[in-house]
Amino acid sequence: MINPVTRRSFLKGSAAVSAAVALSGNALHPQDSSPKAVFYLPPFLARPTENSIFISVLTNDKPVEAILEYRRQSDESWQRLDPPEKAPEFQFLNWDLKDLLPETRYSYRILAKRASESDLESAAKGSFITQRKSPASYTAVLITDPHTGTFAEDSGPVLTLDKVIENASKEKAEFVLALGDNVAWNGSREYAQTNTQGAVGAYAMYRSHIGPLTQSCPHFGIIGNWAGESGKFPEQNIRLVTQIRQAFLPNPNETTYPQGGNKWEDYYAFSWGDVLYVMLNIQTYSEPSDLGGMDSLSSDVSRVEDWTIGQEQMAWLKNTLQNATESYRFVCMHHPAGGNAGNPHDTLYGRGGARCWNSGEQLKIHNLMKQHGVQVFFYGHDHVFVDDVVDDIHYTLPGSCGAPWKFTKEETGYERYWPDSGHARLEVTPEKATVTFVNLEGEDFYDFSVSPIKT
């Protein structure tokens, strides 16, 4: 196992960053006449707690000096984090903003200058609300499967992602749940990665396109099967890619929230108001069934029973649900820990949603959800909108936000689905929680509601 490097140092001098710039092209600066931005990637918000939040930017091709200012939206004066931060070209600037008030809306701005300039000027801004602990009404959004890094800039899938992000940004959500396959690059599912170039390029592209949303909407992500962190790869290769994900898309770790998680930030849980969100990882802990017997390098398992979240994650899941006191309880995973699709190949690939409820390890997860009052199992993977119910548990897939492959009944087995791109809106109130599917045109076309747990 390799030792992970720090977020602020691993990119320095890395040729992989140059590869990311080449892959991202002029995505951030499409007009030649526009002034060159101080930051290559816009602000990214993560790990919001009652009294803190993490804010990250990536510098552009010149050394930068920057300072972060913040204030409650009800205040007029700004507070400043001193001293200014300095960073060379293509390096992360990270701020852990602390001593905030809970359930409070803040604005922030980043003042910056290049080394050759004399005055700090406004370079980026946004807003956020700190973690809610009391029952409240709020909105969140869910996206999945952009496969960013697979497609060229200005291609159809990337323009679709941009449109979904534009629509999702209009929701004024307090956070976004990204349900996996956020990134993908050539060979990331088939082969153990031996360098960081593909991952850096894909994650940089994802950050640049999701930026209009995540500069004012904290991001909670989960692992998909194209993230280069499959359990069929050696540990050292997985961790090579993990460090890139943790730098570009930081998640909560085992200490961020009382519910815990793990140090690799690939599974965790948090509460927001009166809702528990449990974010699981089906990829990294599922080892190949039989290396010598798999049909191809793309195969993850050769027996559906071998999809697993692993003993440690399963014990943590059980403990988290047993200790839950929230009125709403939602579990998120890229695909079920089983499979029951329209054909044997897609069954082994984890397709089928609610059809998988009693296959493999998903049956154990399903029974835990049923026992402890989970109302919704959110997932991705199949690239279409789906909502099916088993034992009063909704198995809900919010379409896709970029991947162009819309899998059919012959592949997924679904009797009812919508082959649209888009996102889902989650509206929580003390009386009910409502999930609404939103298509690429920004139109609502399906919704359902769940009631709070009766205690």
Q: Are residues 125 and 155 in the same domain?
A: no
Within-domain flag for 237: yes
Indicate whether 26 pLDDT > 90: no
Q: Are residues 123 and 142 in the same domain?
A: no
Residue given tokens 């690429």 in the structure block: 440
Within-domain flag for 80: yes
Indicate whether 207 pLDDT > 60: yes
Identify the CATH number of the domain in which residue 354 sits.
3.60.21.10
* pLDDT band at residue 299 using 50, 70 and 90 as cut-offs: confident
- Pair 134, 410: CB distance under 8 Å: no
Give the pLDDT score at 9. 37
DSSP letters, 153-200, are TTSHHHHHHHHHHHHHHTT--S-EEE-S--B--TTTTTS---SSHHHH
Within-domain flag for 211: yes
**What average pLDDT does the structure give for the chain?**
91
Q: Which of 133, 80, 121, 109 is nearest to 216 (CA)?
A: 109
Within-domain flag for 402: yes
* pLDDT band at residue 216 using 50, 70 and 90 as cut-offs: very high
Within-domain flag for 41: no
Of residues 6 and 417, more confidently modeled:
417
Give the pLDDT score at 184. 97
The number of distinct structural domains making up the chain is 2
Within-domain flag for 17: no
Residue 371 dihedral angles phi and psi, to the nearest 5°: -65, -35
Range of the domain at 83: 49-129
* pLDDT band at residue 2 using 50, 70 and 90 as cut-offs: very low
Q: Are residues 276 and 236 in the same domain?
A: yes
Q: What percentage of residues in the chain have a pLDDT greater than 70? A: 90
Q: Give the mean pLDDT of 135-159.
A: 97
Q: Give the mean pLDDT of 256-267.
A: 98
Of 129, 163, 190, the one marking the end of a domain is 129
Of 95, 129, 163, the one marking the end of a domain is 129
Within-domain flag for 390: yes
pTM for the full predicted model: 0.92
Q: Are residues 66 and 145 in the same domain?
A: no
Indicate whether 28 pLDDT > 50: no
Of 129, 153, 188, the one marking the end of a domain is 129
* pLDDT band at residue 22 using 50, 70 and 90 as cut-offs: very low
Q: What are 336-391's pLDDT values in tens digits?
A: 999 999 999 999 999 999 999 999 999 999 999 999 999 999 999 999 999 999 99
Q: Are residues 144 and 259 in the same domain?
A: yes
Radius of gyration of the chain from its Cα atoms, rounded to whole angstroms: 21
Give the pLDDT score at 23. 44
Within-domain flag for 38: no
Amino acid identity, position 386: V
